[in-house]
Amino acid sequence: MIKFIVPAVVIFLIVLFWEKINDIIYKKFNIRINYIILILSILILGAIFALLYF
């Protein structure tokens, strides 16, 4: 039961404090994390589609 509760709480806290996390990373690295997540998701989807195609 605890193995389901702990990840749910972690994901909830990430969603709750997303703006603060994004601002901290933007101040440190001068890049928006939204762009990184968008690029990673496109790459992962592309790899999945390529593997399904071949």
Q: Where are the domains of the chain?
A: 2-53
pLDDT at 49: 93
The pTM assigned to this predicted structure is: 0.56
pLDDT at 50: 92
DSSP symbols for 33-51? HHHHHHHHHHHHHHHHHHH
CB 26 within 8 A of CB 32: yes
Distance of CA 6 to the CA centre of its chain: 17
pLDDT in tens, 5-53: 998 999 899 889 988 988 888 888 887 788 888 899 999 999 999 999 8
